Amino acid sequence: MSKLNPRQREAVHYVDGPLLVLAGAGSGKTSVITRKIAHLIEGVGIPGRHIAALTFTNKAAREMKERVGKLVSRPQTRGLTVSTFHNLGLNIIREEHVHLGYHPGFSIFDAEDAKALLHDLMMTDGSVEAGDEVATVQMSISNWKNDLRSPAEALSRAADERDQRMALVYARYNEYLKAYNAVDFDDLILLPVQLFMSQPETLQKWRRKIRYLLVDEYQDTNTCQYELVKLLVAERAAFTVVGDDDQSIYAWRGARPENLAQLKEDFPSLKVTMLEQNYRSTGRILRSANTVIANNPHVFDKALWSEHTIGEEIRIVRCRNEDAEADRVATEIIDQKLKKGLAWRDFAVLYRGNHQSRLLEMKLQAYQIPYHISGGQSFFSKNEIKDAMSYLRLLVNPDDDAAFLRVVNVPRREIGPRTLEQLSHYARSRNVSLFRSLGDIGAETQVTERGLDRLRRFAHWVDTTCQRLHQEDPIPVIKQLFTDIEYEEWQHQHAGSPKQAERRMSNIWYLIDGLQRMLEDGKGTADELGIEDAISKMILRDMMEQREEEDDSDKVQLLTLHASKGLEFPHVFIMGLEEEILPHRASIEEGNIEEERRLMYVGITRARETLTLTYAAQRSQYGEKLETIPSRFLDELPDEDVRWEGTGDLDVEANQKKGKATLKALLGDLGV
């Protein structure tokens, strides 16, 4: 989209005060943000180093940075911050670690590290049910941190004994994180907020750094993120936030669409600009989306419109059962592909929960339809990469117990669980990390001589490697590390085949090459990183990208409605339009239909050309066939824009014949 429409132009050029841009689905918001950054640099004269643009995913940040790079010359963008909220938080903590009481090279605990620590704490406390409760406690702590609630406050607000117990675990969890010189994912926002609230001079320093702030997907901010933005912009009120209250679908992660309305209270001079022209979908699709979402209450009213044609009717297809539904979707995809000469990648199938994809996958495999499920195994979740990352974490922060425990026996050093248990018990009694406790004479009274000797040899090797890391070129030292521990030989012993072992080692070398690129990219610039910083960045990238894997090959895309946000496809199917699926049963019970309706709105607005909605008349549950109730959202669609199919008795045989004929035609088309 090369030319800006009048509303977009208004959003780009308005710099006289705070601005909220309400950007409907497909209305070109990324274009507005990137053009605005260019305008601030070239038109207003704000140096790139004093501008920050924040978003929620690495992918969005990368795309934004690339687009700004095409609009503004490289020297002018030097020092420009285009990053996720968490990346900005990491930068603040790195720079202000002394004020926060951390040593350099602090670790970032991912969800698994945090879960392991919580499990240990709860078992030590004698909570027999710890195994079942860990996930609940972990979510509660995350919510407390996102709501800026300290352990003391959580304890004072505890409604019962269970809440009190969780608040006490929260307090001990924070203490142990600090002892390990570590932060968790939520701390990356919480700690900067706490720092800015308690140290005005540090806040002033960052306000001088960030003179104009832009925030994307503002409806997804939680309380803590809102506070961070407010603290940074309170003085000048020089900011633009872009969001859509109709696409707020992350309440379960703490997102508060109310933050859009809150802005008006905190910044009375706030200007609101609506982006309502959609560049993605047909008129019918937009009219349907508008009609459905109009059933939700709104602080700001907007209606999407498009210059595209009216387009095909939205099809609502009733199927006999879930098997027939999956079969219908698969055969429809083949049919449309053949008739219209489309690519597989032109189709997407969306659903409310991951479990809905299993049956569909079997059908797609049976019909030899290539597909990709969004949210497959992340590069960083592979075992060999987790090993490598743990070694790197241990090198920059030997106090990182989670990293220590993962690699102390990888490859095997004959250090048994009993030895580690003895060491852990001693370290806890001294309130120090496992690594640090190995230097104590007292450890000899708690850990067997043989086990302690092996542990100390490992610790000595880690110490020596740490010193070399800071005295020599770090990349050869890291490569040497894997030779020292004979990791490749170990992989060949444990892999299913030599090829698998080679593939795992090539992943390790790819990771190290990525680290080298990070170090080289920043050389001689304000963004120059030390090895500790580069490893911290990579750990954060790991955590952020576990849910951002993508596949660009020619395959049908299968993904949840949540994962589809921000994407678009020519032809979209949404499955399972039934009460208790969409809207979800939990939302019905909690009376939270509004968020489910926003999810439906997101699904509808992913489609560019055609939209097909399916539901099963019967669905099996625990071996019993149950009659379903069609989703209330189907009744909310405008009658003139939909076409119902299959509401009479379905001719199963005819449908199967159609499928077989289509498959035969496809195989002939492929020359099979």
Catalytic residue numbers read 29-30, 216-217, 247, 606
499 burial type by CB count under 10 A (0-12 exposed, 13-18 middle, 19+ buried): exposed
Instruction: Report whether 315 contacts 575 (CB < 8 A).
Output: no
Q: Where does residue 272 rank: exposed (0-12), middle (13-18), buried (19+ CB within 10 A)?
A: middle
Q: How far is CA 125 from CA 164, 178, 282, 421, in A?
A: 13, 19, 59, 16
Q: Are strands 624-627 and 607-621 parallel, antiparallel or unpaired?
A: antiparallel
CB-CB contact of 127 with 118 (8 Å)? no
Q: Is residue 582 within 8 Å of residue 227, measured between CB atoms?
A: no
Q: Can you tell me the distance from the alpha carbon of 149 to that of 146, in angstroms, rounded to the nearest whole number? A: 8
Q: What are phi and psi of 31, to 5 degrees?
A: -60, -40
Say which residue the tokens 């090539």 belong to: 506
Q: What angle do CA 267, 273, 277 make, to 5 degrees?
A: 155
C-alpha triplet 85, 90, 96: angle, nearest 5°: 125
Do residues 65 and 55 make contact, with C-beta atoms less than 8 angstroms apart? Answer: no
User: Rounded to whole angstroms, what are the CA distances from 373 to 39, 116, 351, 559, 605?
Assistant: 39, 28, 12, 6, 20
Cα dihedral sign for 98, 103, 107, 109?
negative
- Nearest alpha carbon to residue 296 among 640, 25, 636: 636
Locus of tokens 């110490």: 463
Question: From the CB of residue 540, how many other CB atoms can be counted at a distance below 10 Å?
Answer: 21
On the CB side of 657, CA atoms within 13 Å amount to 4
Residues 627, 205: Cα–Cα separation, whole Å: 63
Cβ-count burial of 129 within 10 angstroms (0-12 exposed, 13-18 middle, 19+ buried)?
exposed
How far apart (Å, rounded) are the C-alpha atoms in residues 596 and 600? 6
Sequence-separated (6 or more) residues with CB below 8 Å from residue 327: 319, 363, 655, 659
How many Å apart are CA 470 and CA 397, to the nearest integer? 13
- The DSSP output letter for 579 is T
**CA-to-CA separations, 444 to 281, 419, 426, in angstroms, rounded:** 70, 12, 10
State the Cα torsion 584-256-600-31 to the nearest 10°.
-150
Beta strand ranges found along 287-346 (DSSP E): 314-321
